[in-house]
Structure 1
Amino acid sequence: MGHLRELRTRLVRAVLAIVIGTVVAWIYYEPILNFLTEPYNDIRPLLSDRGIETDIVITGIGGAFQFQLKISLVVGVLLSSPVWLWQIWGFVLPALHRNEKRWALLLTATGAPLFVSGAGLAYIVLPKAMEVLIGFVPDGFGSLLTGAEYFDFIIRMMLVFGVAAEIPLVVVILNRIGAVSARQLANARPWIVIGIFIFAAIATPTTDPLTMVFLAAPMTVLYFISEIIAKLTDRKRGKAAAEAELADDEVSSLDD
């Protein structure tokens, strides 16, 4: 019952933090909206020069309210993430051993910057991706995007790039638990690189190779880095095993 009460308290704190974050995002809705629509506004003159008129519209009587509420909620979850993540961490922490706590902290401190970096790269690639997709509009046609479609497209792109940036973390974890070795990673390197490019081609919603390269190239570099880390880990593990074996030989006594 004590654990259940603690869980209830932490859930209440997490939900309260999300509500406060959502209210803050609602108050600053205009600058947030300007930030989200900046990639789209950058490509409108380029599309206009090609004879393609495009605009973002909101449909329905309550569409504007739902759109603002959705953006505020998503931004509120992001703003309050340090609080609710800490609540989750605080609930799980007592059940971990000291070594597990150290690794959990290290993985969290590494995974968060990687995800943010991937999402930031997606924001940079967004104008090119939208220019390619909207560029398929035939001559004499215009392009109208609903606010919900535009927001979903941005979120999907950032999630794909953010998750893809976690590749080195996943590889390091698999190597750390002994699932894969550095030699296995080196032998599978050509196939993994091909798989990365196939994943990038499928995950990116555009059909141009440039956007695919923007996703595949950082993923490949991060994989090479994780392979180096795995090699160093295996070398350290082998050295520790050799020292342990030597210590066993030293302490064992052989009587005639």
Structure 2
Amino acid sequence: MAVLTRKNNPEARMSLGEHFKEFRNRTLIAVIAICIAAVFAWLKYDVKQPDGTHVGIWPWLQHPILEVAARHPGQEIAPNFTSMTDAFGVKLKVSLWAGLIISSPVWLWEIWAFLAPGLTGKEKKIGVGFIATAVPLFLAGCWVATLVMQNAVGFLLGVTPSGATNLFSAQEYLTFVTKFILAFGFAFLLPVFLVALNMAHVFPGRIMLKGWRIAVMVIGVFAAMMSPTPDAWSMLALMAPMVVLYFAACGIALLMDKRRDANRPEWLDVPDDERSSL
């Protein structure tokens, strides 16, 4: 794999072709990891236990529906497979979705490794430590989403009038669940990408902090668009941690800028006309 190191390339410069080759290789590794994890998720999609109960990814996704149905006896509330290929399509999509989550350590590392050649040795050490928090943050976002999702499903299905039947498309429910959980997972990665941009000298901490009003507004719009339910609770549940993580990223970026300025050679602060006479 064409990774340029500081030893044989002190400035870590790569040609455009090398950048494309590096991007292709990193993407290929990430895709292979997702596919392998998806095969594992396929096998764990719906497993029948010796006692007749079913465990796996689909029973877990269906659990909020069963809870709502239990609270409304006499009503039929269940996902519906509307065509012959629907069950296969749902299983395939669930497997790929679960594979994306399971393989998150691999593709998050590949994203970092693609950016790493342009950073100094000290920044790489800091970045490796920080990117190690990306996986817990992503999984924490997915976990928070599962808690909010149960309330969202309960709210939407709980308004079904008595005596009515609520048979909804399994594809529609799958889209709702996967979008909901992945939105929270990627939202919790916000500080990782902000600090990565700061380490790449693209996004100074003072600019991040100065534009906090715009950032909060953008986060609010993102939360409103990504939340698949119309209630304000789901939007606030996604928006609040994103705002907290944004300010945490601002603090980390400011500390890194301060340390970087402290290690900056004094001669770089001398004007060009005076520097030429030194």
Please give the range of the TM-score, normalised by the shorter of the 2 chains: 0.7 to 0.9
Contact 1:93 1:101 in 2 (8 A): no
Counterpart amino acid of residue 222 in structure 2: F
Distance 1:178 1:22, change over 3 A: closer
In terms of fraction of residues, the more helix-rich structure is 1
Residue equivalent to 1:153: 176
Confirm or deny that 1:182 pairs with 2:205: yes
CA-based RMSD of the aligned residues comes to 4.0
Partner SS, residue 29 of structure 1: coil
Contact 2:80 2:168 in 1 (8 A): yes
**Structure 1 residue 102: deviation in Å?**
4.1
Question: TM-score scaled to structure 2, two decimals?
Answer: 0.68
Confirm or deny that 1:55 pairs with 2:78: yes
Counterpart-to-counterpart distance in 1, 2:36 and 2:105: 13
Counterpart-to-counterpart distance in 1, 2:210 and 2:177: 36
Residue equivalent to 1:45: 70
Confirm or deny that 1:220 pairs with 2:236: no
Partner SS, residue 59 of structure 1: coil
Counterpart-to-counterpart distance in 2, 1:118 and 1:24: 22
Confirm or deny that 1:119 pairs with 2:142: yes
Runs of 4+ in structure 1 off by over 6 angstroms are 83-86, 91-98
Residue equivalent to 1:197: 220
Residue equivalent to 1:25: 41
Contact 2:37 2:103 in 1 (8 A): yes
Residue equivalent to 1:244: 266
Contact 1:58 1:146 in 2 (8 A): yes
1:57-101 per-position Cα deviation (integer Å, ceiling 9, x unaligned): 222223333333433344345445656777x68x96997777375
Distance 1:52 1:224, change over 3 A: farther
Distance 1:98 1:220, change over 3 A: closer
Distance 1:70 1:204, change over 3 A: closer
Identity of aligned residues (%): 33
Structure 2 gaps, min length 5: 3-17, 47-55
Which deviates more from structure 2 when the two are superposed, residues 137-146 or residues 212-221?
A: 137-146
**Count of aligned pairs:** 242
Which deviates more from structure 2 when the two are superposed, residues 221-230 or residues 136-145?
A: 136-145
Counterpart amino acid of residue 27 in structure 1: L
Structure 1 gaps, min length 5: none
Contact 2:79 2:169 in 1 (8 A): yes
Question: TM-score scaled to structure 1, two decimals?
Answer: 0.73
1:118-154 per-position Cα deviation (integer Å, ceiling 9, x unaligned): 1111111101112233345466643212222222211
Distance 1:229 1:80, change over 3 A: closer
Confirm or deny that 1:36 pairs with 2:61: yes
**Structure 1 residue 165: deviation in Å?**
0.9
Counterpart amino acid of residue 203 in structure 2: V
